[in-house]
Structure 1
Amino acid sequence: MSWSGGKDSALGLYHALRAPALRPAHLLTTLNEHYGRVAMHGVRAELLQAQARRIGLPLTEVWLPEMPSMEIYEQRMTAALDELAAGGVRTSLFGDLHLADLRQYREQQLARIGWQARFPIWHKPAAELLAEFFDLGFRAIVVCVSEQHLDQSFCGRELDRDFIRDLPATVDSCGENGEYHSFVYDAPYFSQPIAVQRGELLRRTYQSPAAATDDEPDPLGAAFWYCDLLPAGT
Structure 2
Amino acid sequence: MRLAALFSGGKDSTYAVQVAEARGWEVTHLLSIRPADPDSMLFHVPNLHVTPLQAEAMDLPLLEERADAGEEAELEALRRAFRRPRVDGILVGAIASDYQHSRVNRVAHELGLRVFAPLWRLDPAHLVRDYLRARLRIVFSSVSADGFDASWLGRLWDEAAVEDLLRLGATRGVHPCGEGGEFETLVLDAPRFRKAIEVTRARPDWRGTAGVWRVEEARLVEKPQRRP
The two structures have a TM-score, normalised by structure 1, of: 0.79
Between structure 1 and structure 2, the one with the greater Rg is: 1
**Percent identity (aligned):** 26
Shift of 1:232: 4.6
Residue correspondences, number = 206
CA distance in 2, matches of 1:4, 1:53: 14
- What is the deviation of 1:23? 1.2
Secondary structure of the residue aligned to 2:84 is helix
Contact 1:141 1:159 in 2 (8 A): yes
Q: Deviations over 1:69-102 (max 9, x none)?
A: 1222122221222222xxx214111111123343
Change (3 A) 1:73 1:32: closer
Are residue 227 (structure 1) and residue 213 (structure 2) matched?
A: yes
Query: 1:90-101, aligned counterparts within 5 Å?
Result: 90-101=88-99
Structure 2 residue aligned with 1:146: 144
Tell me if 1:61 matches 2:59.
no
Structure 1: gaps of 5 or more residues: 206-222
Query: Within 1, Cα distance between the matches of 2:99 and 2:214?
Result: 31
Q: Call closer, same or farther: CA 1:126–1:44 in 2, change over 3 Å.
A: closer
Mapped contact 1:41–1:143 kept (Cα < 8 A): no
Partner of 2:104: 106
Q: Corresponding residue for 1:181?
A: 184
C-alpha change, 1:63 and 1:149, in structure 2 (3 Å) is farther
Distance (Å, rounded) in 2 between the aligned partners of 1:149 and 1:178: 13
Confirm whether residue 122 of structure 1 aligns to residue 120 of structure 2.
yes
Conserved? CA contact 2:75–2:103, under 8 Å? no
Residue equivalent to 2:8: 4
Residue 9 of structure 1: CA displacement?
A: 0.8
CA distance in 1: counterparts of 2:159 and 2:129, whole angstroms: 9
1: CA distance, partners of 2:37 / 2:72: 18
Q: Is the CA contact 2:10–2:187 (under 8 Å) kept in the aligned structure 1?
A: yes
1:53 is matched by which residue type in structure 2? E
Deviation at 1:199, TM superposition (A): 2.0
Structure 2 counterpart SS, 1:137 = coil
Q: Secondary structure, in 3 states, of the residue corresponding to 1:50?
A: helix
Partner of 1:75: 76
TM superposition score normalised by structure 2: 0.81
Deviation of 1:44 after TM superposition, in Å, equals 4.9
- Aligned partner of 1:17 in structure 2 is 21
Residues 131, 23 of structure 1: alpha-carbon distance in 2 compared, 3 angstrom cutoff: same
Task: Name which of structure 1's ranges 143-152 and 23-32 shifts more when overlaid on structure 2.
Answer: 143-152
Measure, in 1, the Cα distance between the counterparts of 2:110 and 2:159: 41
Distance 1:201 1:42, change over 3 A: same
2:175 equivalent to 1:172: yes
Instruction: Find out whether 1:51 has 2:37 as its counterpart.
Output: no
Q: Is the 8 A contact 2:35 2:74 kept in 1?
A: no
CA distance in 1, matches of 2:164, 2:126: 18
Question: Hey, what's the Cα distance between the residues in 1 that align with 2:48 and 2:22?
Answer: 29
| Structure 2 stretches lacking a partner, 5+ long | 220-228
Instruction: Name the structure with the higher strand share.
Output: 2
Is the Cα–Cα contact under 8 Å of residues 41 and 144 in structure 1 kept in the other structure?
Answer: no
Alignment correspondent of 1:219:
none
